[in-house]
Amino acid sequence: MKSRYPRRAMALVAALLMSLPVVADEASDRAMREALEAARNREWSRINDSVIEDHVLAGYVEYHRLRSQLPHVTPEIINGFLQRHADSPLSDWMRGVAQVSYGNAKRYDALLAVSDGKPRGTIRQCYYYTALLDRDPPTAAQGGLDLWLTGRSQPSECDTLFDTLLNRGVIDSRAIWQRMMLAWENGEDGLMSYLAKKLPASWSDAQQALDRLKGDYAGVTRVPVDLGPQGQASAALFTAAMYNFTRADTEAALEAWRKIGPHLSLNDEQRHSVEHDLAFYSLVREIDNNRGWVDDVLPRLANGDLLELRVRRALAERNWSDVVHWVHQMPDDPRQDARWQYWLGRALEQLGDEQTARKAYAAAADERSFFGFAAADKLGQPYALNMTQATFNDTYRREVANWPVVQRAEALQRIGEPGLARSEWYAAVERASEEEARALADYAQQRGWYATLVQTTIAANQWDALAWRFPSAYQDSFLRWGDANGVDPFLLMGIARRESAFNNEAVSPVGARGLMQLMPGTAAHVSSQLGIDTPSMGELFEPETNIRLGSHYISRMLDRYSGNRLAATAAYNAGPGRVDRWLSEAPREFDLFVESIPFRETRDYVQAVLAYQVIFASLAQQGSTQGIAMLSPAERQVSYDTSLLARN
């Protein structure tokens, strides 16, 4: 993205700042920490403004002070704050709280004065379009309709907007009916009842049809195709009915659709939605009776996700001709992916077309991924890392250290606000030019901010900056516990990189913690095996503890599956019980085993970890892949079935 600062101005500011030492004043930081705590609690008498006014974080205290004065503070004062802190997330935060506060107070002129276009978030949007009702009716009408047409209840802050649009007839009976159908799809019976009361009597035939279908989806073939005034109810009703019917009984739903589909007046989007759902559920539920219809409709739908499912079905059946056919049907973007070029090569090889197969493998081998590396193995050629490296001299690094965002991030770290520090950092990366983003990544690497470094490369799309995307984070601990447990440390690093992106404070939605994302129960079990005390929740965030327990757990999974990393990493992600079941009915070849894993998360996880291990091992050799193999001969040649389970 383009920098907010002109290059010459940045250079002048940096030159001036470089003459000043970057020194952390402990007393000043302590005063700022206390002032920020007081500001959050609105204890203004505790704050000595003269002590903190020159601190790089003074804006954070000002933010809380202005926030406490809303909605009575003028928009001019708010805009002044936004301008002064335009290079900080404080600006977006202040704009958001001001919009909500002004909207709640019905100070709509003030709300518009601090707005810079359509805001993010439903509540802010409802207030924004309410403010435009009399100032820009067409924009308010369109924005209000977009917010109205959802199958879930909207917050009360939208009531004024919706009530006005209802009174003006912008939200008409047809829009009410459309929302009812969306609510039906979402199982929102309460919202449906509320909306039904707003419909006039002329919609009674549509409501009666809806009542019949709610109890019997199969009745969709017996419902008149012309419902509501001028048939306005029909399209939305049939679309919603098919949505629910398809999920309840896909085979019966397709039978009904073949009867009624040609006679319905649906727009292209509605018809595509119905047929996409039917094809999707027919494929994932493996409904053989629907196969012919699915194969007929897939080329017309031209959806990459559906075609991926179809190729995976052909792979499961070892129907190599179908694999070739359906890969060729894919849109250009997914078809060129290493995964599908690999499978195209594999299918062509099975069909005896070695020459064309090698071309497909060669296309796949250009990519840095599991299937790209597998294709390179097929061709007997080195792995393509496609890595780039940016270098910076010490003078430029000193300049970067004095950038305002870096100074604020450092200060927030010092006063114990790592979350705010990350917010500052990532907001800066979003605004940065390509060169500035690289400089920020380099700074994070120099400071050992591993999680921040990885996220910086993601936010800045620095996909080929491998030394930054895969830093040697906590390497001593991975080496130590890898050696102690007989596990390749680069495998451990690959797991940690996939699990937490090296954020030692990461917590998953289900409660897994730390670098290697250990569940507390797993940590307790492993600790018992090791004969050590069960770590507290807080101790699971300590890198040394987490790596020790995680490396022992993956070593047990490797023991369980005779040293096979594909099965062991799948078990680390999905649990050994599931992997045992998958092996009982798995294809025999390694690539088909990976592709057959039913959970997409685990399927992607296994591929990522094995590819990451290659990358970490290569980076340890200064980017050379000499002597590095993604899979051992045994992992490539073994039969993937229950024989992998070690016999005790």
Helix, strand, coil share of the chain (percent; to 5)? 70, 0, 30
Spatial separation of the C-alpha atoms in residues 168 and 185, rounded to whole Å:
28
Residue 113: CB partners within 8 Å, gap ≥ 6? Answer: 75, 76, 79
Please check whether residue 603 is in contact with residue 574, taking contact to mean a CB–CB distance below 8 angstroms.
no
Please check whether residue 368 is in contact with residue 615, taking contact to mean a CB–CB distance below 8 angstroms.
yes
How would you label 132-161 residue by residue, b for 16+ Cβ within 10 Å and e otherwise?
Answer: bbeeeeeebbebbbebbeebeebeebbebb
Helix 304-316 vs helix 291-301: angle between axes, to the nearest 10 degrees? 140
**Residue 645, burial from CB neighbour count under 10 angstroms (0-12, 13-18, 19+):** middle
Helix spans in 70-136 (H): 75-84, 89-104, 108-114, 122-131
Q: Name the active-site residue from 499, 539, 542, 595.
A: 499
Spatial separation of the C-alpha atoms in residues 180 and 169, rounded to whole Å:
17
Q: Which CA distances in Å does 8 have to 4, 12, 401, 437?
A: 12, 6, 18, 18
Spatial separation of the C-alpha atoms in residues 393 and 370, rounded to whole Å:
35
- Name the residue type at position 7: R
Helix spans in 249-353 (H): 250-260, 268-284, 291-301, 304-316, 320-329, 332-335, 338-350
Please check whether residue 625 is in contact with residue 382, taking contact to mean a CB–CB distance below 8 angstroms.
yes
Q: Does 499 participate in catalysis according to the annotation?
A: yes
Query: Looking at the chain, how many residues does it have?
Result: 648
**Residue 3, burial from CB neighbour count under 10 angstroms (0-12, 13-18, 19+):** middle
Nearest-5° angle of CA 293, CA 298, CA 299?
125
Helix 58-69 vs helix 89-104: angle between axes, to the nearest 10 degrees? 10
Residue linked to tokens 């078809």: 335
Residue linked to tokens 């780039």: 388
Active site residues: 499
